[in-house]
Structure 1
Amino acid sequence: MSAPQKPLDPQQQGPSVDTSEQLEVNDAGGNAAEPGEQASAEDLSALLADAQERVAAYHEDLLRARAEVENIRRRAQEDVAKARKFGTESFAESLIPVRDSLEAALALTDQTAEAWREGVEATLRQLNTAFERNLMKEVAPAEGDKFDPHQHQAISSVPSSQPEGTVVQLLQKGYTISERVLRPALVMVSAGPGQQG
Protein backbone atom coordinates (compact mmCIF):
# COMPACT_ATOMS: atom_id res chain seq x y z
CA MET A 1 0.00 0.00 0.00
CA SER A 2 1.31 3.36 -0.95
CA ALA A 3 1.26 6.21 1.53
CA PRO A 4 -1.30 8.91 0.89
CA GLN A 5 0.06 11.80 -1.02
CA LYS A 6 0.57 14.96 0.94
CA PRO A 7 -0.46 18.20 -0.64
CA LEU A 8 2.47 19.89 -2.15
CA ASP A 9 3.76 23.05 -0.61
CA PRO A 10 3.22 25.84 -3.15
CA GLN A 11 6.73 27.08 -2.41
CA GLN A 12 8.18 23.69 -3.31
CA GLN A 13 6.39 23.54 -6.65
CA GLY A 14 7.98 24.81 -9.75
CA PRO A 15 7.16 28.21 -11.14
CA SER A 16 3.44 28.69 -11.58
CA VAL A 17 2.05 28.59 -15.06
CA ASP A 18 0.05 31.58 -16.27
CA THR A 19 -2.97 30.15 -18.04
CA SER A 20 -4.48 33.51 -18.96
CA GLU A 21 -2.46 33.56 -22.13
CA GLN A 22 -3.78 30.16 -23.09
CA LEU A 23 -7.37 31.44 -23.02
CA GLU A 24 -6.73 34.33 -25.38
CA VAL A 25 -7.21 33.81 -29.08
CA ASN A 26 -4.34 35.30 -31.03
CA ASP A 27 -5.95 36.65 -34.22
CA ALA A 28 -2.89 38.61 -35.19
CA GLY A 29 -0.74 35.53 -35.27
CA GLY A 30 -3.17 33.78 -37.61
CA ASN A 31 -3.87 31.02 -35.10
CA ALA A 32 -7.65 30.49 -35.65
CA ALA A 33 -9.65 28.73 -33.00
CA GLU A 34 -10.72 25.20 -33.67
CA PRO A 35 -14.27 24.88 -35.12
CA GLY A 36 -15.41 23.05 -31.95
CA GLU A 37 -14.09 25.84 -29.74
CA GLN A 38 -15.86 28.53 -31.79
CA ALA A 39 -19.18 26.68 -31.58
CA SER A 40 -18.69 26.29 -27.84
CA ALA A 41 -18.14 30.03 -27.40
CA GLU A 42 -21.29 30.75 -29.45
CA ASP A 43 -23.25 28.25 -27.36
CA LEU A 44 -22.07 29.94 -24.17
CA SER A 45 -22.98 33.33 -25.57
CA ALA A 46 -26.48 32.08 -26.47
CA LEU A 47 -26.90 30.49 -23.03
CA LEU A 48 -25.83 33.75 -21.38
CA ALA A 49 -28.28 35.77 -23.48
CA ASP A 50 -31.06 33.28 -22.66
CA ALA A 51 -30.24 33.44 -18.94
CA GLN A 52 -30.23 37.24 -19.04
CA GLU A 53 -33.66 37.24 -20.73
CA ARG A 54 -35.01 34.90 -18.05
CA VAL A 55 -33.60 37.06 -15.26
CA ALA A 56 -35.20 40.14 -16.83
CA ALA A 57 -38.54 38.30 -17.12
CA TYR A 58 -38.34 37.09 -13.49
CA HIS A 59 -37.48 40.62 -12.37
CA GLU A 60 -40.49 42.01 -14.23
CA ASP A 61 -42.73 39.29 -12.72
CA LEU A 62 -41.40 40.17 -9.27
CA LEU A 63 -42.14 43.86 -9.78
CA ARG A 64 -45.67 43.05 -10.98
CA ALA A 65 -46.25 40.72 -8.02
CA ARG A 66 -45.07 43.43 -5.61
CA ALA A 67 -47.37 45.96 -7.24
CA GLU A 68 -50.30 43.52 -7.05
CA VAL A 69 -49.65 42.81 -3.36
CA GLU A 70 -49.48 46.54 -2.66
CA ASN A 71 -52.79 47.06 -4.53
CA ILE A 72 -54.44 44.24 -2.55
CA ARG A 73 -53.16 45.69 0.74
CA ARG A 74 -54.41 49.17 -0.19
CA ARG A 75 -57.83 47.85 -1.28
CA ALA A 76 -58.14 45.85 1.95
CA GLN A 77 -57.40 48.98 3.98
CA GLU A 78 -60.03 50.90 2.02
CA ASP A 79 -62.57 48.09 2.54
CA VAL A 80 -61.93 48.09 6.29
CA ALA A 81 -62.31 51.87 6.41
CA LYS A 82 -65.59 51.67 4.44
CA ALA A 83 -66.87 48.85 6.67
CA ARG A 84 -66.19 50.98 9.74
CA LYS A 85 -67.80 54.03 8.18
CA PHE A 86 -70.87 52.35 6.70
CA GLY A 87 -71.21 49.30 8.97
CA THR A 88 -74.24 50.76 10.71
CA GLU A 89 -75.93 51.89 7.50
CA SER A 90 -78.14 48.79 7.17
CA PHE A 91 -79.17 48.94 10.80
CA ALA A 92 -79.91 52.67 10.56
CA GLU A 93 -82.08 52.09 7.48
CA SER A 94 -84.05 49.50 9.45
CA LEU A 95 -84.66 51.96 12.29
CA ILE A 96 -85.95 54.85 10.16
CA PRO A 97 -89.49 53.38 9.82
CA VAL A 98 -89.58 52.82 13.58
CA ARG A 99 -88.81 56.48 14.19
CA ASP A 100 -91.40 57.50 11.58
CA SER A 101 -94.04 55.44 13.39
CA LEU A 102 -93.18 56.94 16.76
CA GLU A 103 -93.34 60.49 15.38
CA ALA A 104 -96.67 59.76 13.69
CA ALA A 105 -98.07 58.40 16.96
CA LEU A 106 -96.98 61.51 18.84
CA ALA A 107 -98.46 63.79 16.17
CA LEU A 108 -101.97 62.38 16.74
CA THR A 109 -103.45 64.01 19.81
CA ASP A 110 -106.96 62.59 20.03
CA GLN A 111 -106.41 58.82 20.25
CA THR A 112 -107.96 56.24 22.47
CA ALA A 113 -105.84 54.13 24.77
CA GLU A 114 -106.60 51.13 22.56
CA ALA A 115 -105.40 52.95 19.43
CA TRP A 116 -102.19 53.95 21.23
CA ARG A 117 -101.63 50.35 22.28
CA GLU A 118 -102.14 49.06 18.74
CA GLY A 119 -99.73 51.69 17.41
CA VAL A 120 -97.08 50.82 19.99
CA GLU A 121 -97.43 47.11 19.21
CA ALA A 122 -97.06 47.79 15.47
CA THR A 123 -93.97 49.90 16.16
CA LEU A 124 -92.50 47.13 18.32
CA ARG A 125 -93.06 44.66 15.46
CA GLN A 126 -91.14 47.02 13.16
CA LEU A 127 -88.32 47.19 15.69
CA ASN A 128 -88.21 43.40 16.04
CA THR A 129 -88.03 43.08 12.25
CA ALA A 130 -85.12 45.55 12.19
CA PHE A 131 -83.34 43.52 14.88
CA GLU A 132 -83.87 40.24 13.00
CA ARG A 133 -82.66 41.70 9.71
CA ASN A 134 -79.45 42.83 11.39
CA LEU A 135 -78.86 39.58 13.35
CA MET A 136 -79.61 41.22 16.68
CA LYS A 137 -81.08 38.83 19.24
CA GLU A 138 -82.24 39.24 22.78
CA VAL A 139 -80.73 37.33 25.69
CA ALA A 140 -83.50 36.59 28.16
CA PRO A 141 -82.75 33.58 30.36
CA ALA A 142 -85.72 32.01 32.10
CA GLU A 143 -85.85 31.08 35.76
CA GLY A 144 -83.84 27.89 36.27
CA ASP A 145 -81.55 28.41 33.23
CA LYS A 146 -77.86 27.89 33.89
CA PHE A 147 -75.94 31.10 34.52
CA ASP A 148 -73.67 31.89 31.52
CA PRO A 149 -70.97 34.45 32.39
CA HIS A 150 -70.44 35.13 28.68
CA GLN A 151 -74.02 36.37 28.19
CA HIS A 152 -75.28 37.12 31.70
CA GLN A 153 -74.20 39.52 34.41
CA ALA A 154 -75.06 38.52 37.97
CA ILE A 155 -76.23 41.41 40.10
CA SER A 156 -76.50 39.32 43.24
CA SER A 157 -76.57 35.79 44.56
CA VAL A 158 -79.67 34.92 46.60
CA PRO A 159 -80.81 31.89 48.57
CA SER A 160 -83.24 29.87 46.46
CA SER A 161 -84.82 26.47 45.98
CA GLN A 162 -83.20 26.51 42.51
CA PRO A 163 -79.86 24.70 42.11
CA GLU A 164 -76.77 26.80 42.72
CA GLY A 165 -75.54 28.72 39.66
CA THR A 166 -78.92 29.00 37.97
CA VAL A 167 -80.91 32.12 37.13
CA VAL A 168 -83.52 33.05 39.74
CA GLN A 169 -84.79 36.27 38.18
CA LEU A 170 -84.20 38.28 34.98
CA LEU A 171 -83.83 41.99 35.76
CA GLN A 172 -82.97 43.29 32.27
CA LYS A 173 -82.71 41.59 28.87
CA GLY A 174 -79.38 41.47 27.13
CA TYR A 175 -78.61 41.62 23.40
CA THR A 176 -76.21 40.05 20.93
CA ILE A 177 -75.44 41.03 17.37
CA SER A 178 -73.93 38.37 15.11
CA GLU A 179 -73.17 36.25 18.20
CA ARG A 180 -71.29 39.14 19.85
CA VAL A 181 -72.65 40.39 23.18
CA LEU A 182 -73.75 44.02 23.03
CA ARG A 183 -75.20 44.01 26.52
CA PRO A 184 -75.31 41.08 28.95
CA ALA A 185 -78.59 40.14 30.59
CA LEU A 186 -78.79 41.35 34.19
CA VAL A 187 -79.83 38.47 36.44
CA MET A 188 -80.06 37.30 40.01
CA VAL A 189 -78.39 33.94 40.59
CA SER A 190 -79.24 31.18 43.03
CA ALA A 191 -76.85 30.54 45.90
CA GLY A 192 -78.42 27.10 46.29
CA PRO A 193 -81.07 25.57 48.55
CA GLY A 194 -78.65 25.12 51.46
CA GLN A 195 -78.35 28.90 51.79
CA GLN A 196 -82.01 29.56 52.55
CA GLY A 197 -82.73 31.04 55.94
Structure 2
Amino acid sequence: MAQPKEDPFLDDPEMQEEDFDLDAAMEEEPESGALSGRAAMEAVAAERDELRDRLMRALAETENVRKRAVRDRTEAEQYGASRLARDLLPVYDNLRRALDAAGDANDGVIEGVKLTLKELLNVFGRHGIKLVSPEIGDRFDPQMHEAMFEAPLPGTRAGEIIQVAAEGFLLHDRLLRPAQVGVSSTPAS
Protein backbone atom coordinates (compact mmCIF):
# COMPACT_ATOMS: atom_id res chain seq x y z
CA MET A 1 0.00 0.00 0.00
CA ALA A 2 1.22 3.47 -0.84
CA GLN A 3 1.97 5.74 2.09
CA PRO A 4 0.14 9.07 2.03
CA LYS A 5 2.40 11.95 1.16
CA GLU A 6 3.30 14.11 4.08
CA ASP A 7 2.49 17.77 3.92
CA PRO A 8 5.76 19.71 4.20
CA PHE A 9 3.89 22.71 5.64
CA LEU A 10 2.67 20.73 8.65
CA ASP A 11 6.21 19.80 9.67
CA ASP A 12 7.70 23.23 8.97
CA PRO A 13 7.79 25.19 12.24
CA GLU A 14 7.65 28.46 10.32
CA MET A 15 4.32 27.43 8.75
CA GLN A 16 2.52 26.51 11.98
CA GLU A 17 -0.63 28.60 12.31
CA GLU A 18 0.16 30.08 15.69
CA ASP A 19 3.68 31.01 14.64
CA PHE A 20 2.90 32.24 11.13
CA ASP A 21 2.62 36.00 10.71
CA LEU A 22 0.84 36.75 7.42
CA ASP A 23 1.64 40.47 7.42
CA ALA A 24 5.29 39.82 8.04
CA ALA A 25 5.41 37.18 5.33
CA MET A 26 3.86 39.58 2.85
CA GLU A 27 6.38 42.31 3.64
CA GLU A 28 9.43 40.04 3.39
CA GLU A 29 11.63 40.36 0.39
CA PRO A 30 11.05 37.48 -1.98
CA GLU A 31 13.91 35.13 -2.64
CA SER A 32 15.27 35.40 -6.13
CA GLY A 33 12.74 34.01 -8.63
CA ALA A 34 10.02 33.50 -5.99
CA LEU A 35 6.77 35.40 -5.72
CA SER A 36 6.31 37.94 -2.96
CA GLY A 37 3.99 36.92 -0.12
CA ARG A 38 1.21 39.22 -1.36
CA ALA A 39 1.55 38.01 -4.96
CA ALA A 40 1.48 34.39 -3.76
CA MET A 41 -1.68 35.04 -1.76
CA GLU A 42 -3.30 36.72 -4.76
CA ALA A 43 -2.35 33.78 -6.97
CA VAL A 44 -3.85 31.34 -4.45
CA ALA A 45 -7.00 33.45 -4.19
CA ALA A 46 -7.32 33.58 -8.00
CA GLU A 47 -6.88 29.82 -8.22
CA ARG A 48 -9.48 29.35 -5.47
CA ASP A 49 -11.95 31.58 -7.32
CA GLU A 50 -11.35 29.70 -10.56
CA LEU A 51 -11.88 26.33 -8.86
CA ARG A 52 -15.04 27.61 -7.14
CA ASP A 53 -16.35 28.81 -10.51
CA ARG A 54 -15.59 25.44 -12.12
CA LEU A 55 -17.27 23.62 -9.23
CA MET A 56 -20.41 25.76 -9.50
CA ARG A 57 -20.57 25.20 -13.26
CA ALA A 58 -20.13 21.44 -12.79
CA LEU A 59 -22.90 21.41 -10.16
CA ALA A 60 -25.22 23.37 -12.47
CA GLU A 61 -24.47 21.03 -15.37
CA THR A 62 -25.15 18.00 -13.17
CA GLU A 63 -28.50 19.46 -12.11
CA ASN A 64 -29.39 20.16 -15.76
CA VAL A 65 -28.52 16.58 -16.73
CA ARG A 66 -30.68 15.27 -13.87
CA LYS A 67 -33.65 17.41 -14.92
CA ARG A 68 -33.22 16.39 -18.55
CA ALA A 69 -33.14 12.70 -17.55
CA VAL A 70 -36.33 13.07 -15.50
CA ARG A 71 -38.04 14.87 -18.40
CA ASP A 72 -36.87 12.23 -20.91
CA ARG A 73 -38.07 9.41 -18.67
CA THR A 74 -41.49 11.01 -18.17
CA GLU A 75 -41.78 11.63 -21.90
CA ALA A 76 -40.79 8.03 -22.70
CA GLU A 77 -43.40 6.71 -20.25
CA GLN A 78 -46.16 8.90 -21.68
CA TYR A 79 -45.36 8.79 -25.38
CA GLY A 80 -43.32 5.60 -25.85
CA ALA A 81 -46.33 3.68 -27.14
CA SER A 82 -47.28 6.22 -29.80
CA ARG A 83 -46.29 3.88 -32.67
CA LEU A 84 -48.46 1.11 -31.26
CA ALA A 85 -51.30 3.56 -30.73
CA ARG A 86 -51.04 4.80 -34.34
CA ASP A 87 -51.12 1.21 -35.56
CA LEU A 88 -54.34 0.57 -33.59
CA LEU A 89 -56.21 3.57 -35.02
CA PRO A 90 -57.20 1.75 -38.26
CA VAL A 91 -58.79 -0.96 -36.08
CA TYR A 92 -60.99 1.71 -34.54
CA ASP A 93 -61.77 3.14 -37.98
CA ASN A 94 -62.79 -0.26 -39.36
CA LEU A 95 -65.02 -1.03 -36.38
CA ARG A 96 -66.66 2.39 -36.72
CA ARG A 97 -67.23 1.84 -40.46
CA ALA A 98 -68.75 -1.58 -39.77
CA LEU A 99 -71.21 -0.04 -37.33
CA ASP A 100 -72.04 2.82 -39.71
CA ALA A 101 -72.63 0.35 -42.58
CA ALA A 102 -74.86 -1.87 -40.44
CA GLY A 103 -77.19 1.02 -39.71
CA ASP A 104 -79.90 0.15 -37.21
CA ALA A 105 -79.66 -3.63 -37.54
CA ASN A 106 -79.82 -5.28 -34.16
CA ASP A 107 -78.32 -8.72 -34.41
CA GLY A 108 -75.60 -10.46 -32.40
CA VAL A 109 -72.75 -9.58 -34.75
CA ILE A 110 -73.53 -5.87 -34.61
CA GLU A 111 -73.79 -6.04 -30.82
CA GLY A 112 -70.38 -7.77 -30.73
CA VAL A 113 -68.82 -5.07 -32.89
CA LYS A 114 -70.32 -2.38 -30.64
CA LEU A 115 -68.90 -4.06 -27.54
CA THR A 116 -65.51 -4.48 -29.21
CA LEU A 117 -65.44 -0.80 -30.16
CA LYS A 118 -66.46 0.19 -26.64
CA GLU A 119 -63.68 -1.95 -25.13
CA LEU A 120 -61.12 -0.52 -27.57
CA LEU A 121 -62.10 3.00 -26.48
CA ASN A 122 -61.77 1.93 -22.81
CA VAL A 123 -58.25 0.60 -23.48
CA PHE A 124 -57.38 3.82 -25.30
CA GLY A 125 -58.63 5.82 -22.31
CA ARG A 126 -56.54 3.82 -19.83
CA HIS A 127 -53.45 4.62 -21.87
CA GLY A 128 -54.13 8.34 -22.33
CA ILE A 129 -55.51 8.17 -25.87
CA LYS A 130 -58.43 10.56 -26.32
CA LEU A 131 -60.83 10.84 -29.22
CA VAL A 132 -60.93 14.13 -31.16
CA SER A 133 -64.42 14.17 -32.60
CA PRO A 134 -65.37 17.55 -34.10
CA GLU A 135 -68.99 18.35 -34.79
CA ILE A 136 -70.44 19.77 -37.99
CA GLY A 137 -70.50 23.54 -37.58
CA ASP A 138 -67.37 23.69 -35.38
CA ARG A 139 -64.55 26.03 -36.40
CA PHE A 140 -61.68 24.43 -38.30
CA ASP A 141 -58.59 24.23 -36.07
CA PRO A 142 -55.40 23.43 -38.02
CA GLN A 143 -53.80 22.20 -34.77
CA MET A 144 -56.44 19.46 -34.38
CA HIS A 145 -57.99 19.00 -37.83
CA GLU A 146 -56.79 18.13 -41.31
CA ALA A 147 -58.81 19.65 -44.16
CA MET A 148 -59.51 16.92 -46.71
CA PHE A 149 -61.47 19.24 -48.99
CA GLU A 150 -63.09 22.66 -49.18
CA ALA A 151 -66.50 23.28 -50.67
CA PRO A 152 -68.91 26.21 -50.73
CA LEU A 153 -72.02 25.27 -48.77
CA PRO A 154 -74.92 27.73 -48.48
CA GLY A 155 -75.84 28.62 -44.92
CA THR A 156 -72.32 28.18 -43.55
CA ARG A 157 -69.41 30.51 -42.95
CA ALA A 158 -65.92 30.02 -44.34
CA GLY A 159 -63.83 27.84 -42.03
CA GLU A 160 -66.72 25.82 -40.56
CA ILE A 161 -66.55 22.05 -40.57
CA ILE A 162 -69.16 20.65 -42.95
CA GLN A 163 -68.22 16.95 -42.84
CA VAL A 164 -66.18 14.66 -40.57
CA ALA A 165 -64.42 11.97 -42.62
CA ALA A 166 -62.41 10.43 -39.74
CA GLU A 167 -62.02 11.21 -36.07
CA GLY A 168 -58.66 12.23 -34.67
CA PHE A 169 -56.79 11.12 -31.58
CA LEU A 170 -54.59 12.66 -28.89
CA LEU A 171 -52.01 10.77 -26.83
CA HIS A 172 -52.04 12.75 -23.58
CA ASP A 173 -51.48 16.22 -25.06
CA ARG A 174 -49.84 15.22 -28.36
CA LEU A 175 -51.75 14.78 -31.57
CA LEU A 176 -51.56 11.19 -32.83
CA ARG A 177 -53.77 11.82 -35.83
CA PRO A 178 -55.74 14.93 -36.77
CA ALA A 179 -59.46 14.64 -37.39
CA GLN A 180 -60.03 14.55 -41.15
CA VAL A 181 -62.73 17.04 -42.07
CA GLY A 182 -64.36 18.90 -44.94
CA VAL A 183 -64.38 22.68 -44.56
CA SER A 184 -66.74 25.30 -45.93
CA SER A 185 -65.22 27.81 -48.32
CA THR A 186 -68.34 29.97 -48.57
CA PRO A 187 -67.19 33.54 -49.13
CA ALA A 188 -68.39 36.17 -46.70
CA SER A 189 -71.45 37.99 -48.06
TM-score where L is the length of structure 2:
0.50
CA radius of gyration, larger in: 1
TM-score where L is the length of structure 1:
0.48
